[in-house]
Amino acid sequence: MKIMAFNGSPRNKWNTATLLEKALEGAASQGADTELIHLYDLDFKGCISCFACKIKEGESYGRCAVQDDLTAVFSKIEKADAIILGSPIYFGCVSGEMRSFMERLLFPYLRYTDPPQSLFPNRIETGFIYTMNVTEDQMKEWGYLQLFNHHEMILKIIFGESEYMCSFDTYQFDDYSKVLATRFDPVKKKQRHEEVFPLDCQKAFDMGMRLVGGK
Ligand SMILES: Cc1cc2nc3c(=O)[nH]c(=O)nc-3n(C[C@H](O)[C@H](O)[C@H](O)COP(=O)(O)O)c2cc1C
């Protein structure tokens, strides 16, 4: 089994990356090969709407025609048994890099039929890990569930079974005293990081296990 994870945070060692690492550890505990890719280390842009992936009998039908750092990544994904996307929430959405990655990954495999169908060669499991500053109640109040459910629906169409998890009220800075952030109580933030974030890490580990067929 091979599982790949994609970090949509510019920070390679913070909340999102840590949870993705835990998920991969969970998958590795079931014997899977793992790979973590930090999207901000790659050179790519979002979909350029060339539609080469949609031209009937075209040489790039069902594949992204743009050649850049994602080209090799997409080939690897076609050989993976599961993938996990991870992103911080930026202004109520995923990060710009994750958004661009999703456009490039998903659009070529989307058959413009009614109902939509998938051109991805296999059925594989996917997971999504979201990290954010807001609490669970605020997440619901601010309508983020619509985004998560929409992503889940698209991932199910393209790849197969999909699940997601959220890490709320994350620890955002290593020293709250240095930044202007009166909205947050640094003591409560630290306490949550020490008490709740480890539970989120366990949830991510369990997700990684499940995605490669573990219980
Ligand atoms: C540009 C920017 C925009 C953000 N917007 C939101 C937001 O709309 N809602 C939210 O809950 N958190 C927001 N956050 C906080 C991050 O989502 C949160 O700290 C996340 O856990 C960071 O992930 P990381 O530690 O992996 O980098 C924002 C952070 C940044 C830098």
pLDDT at 215: 67
SS3 of 73-115: the string is: HHHHHHHCCEEEEEEEEECCEECHHHHHHHHHHHHHHEECCCC
Give the chain's mean pLDDT: 97
Alpha carbon of 207 to those of 25, 41, 77, 202: distances in Å? 10, 25, 19, 9
Strand partners, 131: 88, 167
Measure 88 CA to ligand 1 centroid, in angstroms. 5
Question: Is 16 touching ligand 1 by the criterion CB < 6 Å?
Answer: yes
pLDDT at 214: 79
The pick from 12, 89, 95 for probing ligand 1's pocket by mutation, whose C-beta has the most ligand atoms within 8 angstroms, reads 89
Measure 79 CA to ligand 1 centroid, in angstroms. 32
What's the pLDDT band for 18 if we cut at 50, 70, 90?
Answer: very high
How confident is the model over 144-194, as pLDDT tens digits? 999 999 999 999 999 999 999 999 999 999 999 999 999 999 999 999 999
Which residue has a Cα nearest atom 8 of ligand 1?
91
d(CA 171, CA 95): 17
CA nearest neighbour of 200 among 48, 58, 2, 20: 20
User: Which two tokens mark 195?
Assistant: 């008490």
Question: Is 7 touching ligand 1 by the criterion CB < 6 Å?
Answer: no
Measure 201 CA to ligand 1 centroid, in angstroms. 18
Statement: residue 102 has pLDDT above 80: yes
What's the pLDDT band for 40 if we cut at 50, 70, 90?
Answer: very high
Measure 124 CA to ligand 1 centroid, in angstroms. 29
Please state whether the predicted TM-score (pTM) of the whole model is above 0.95.
yes
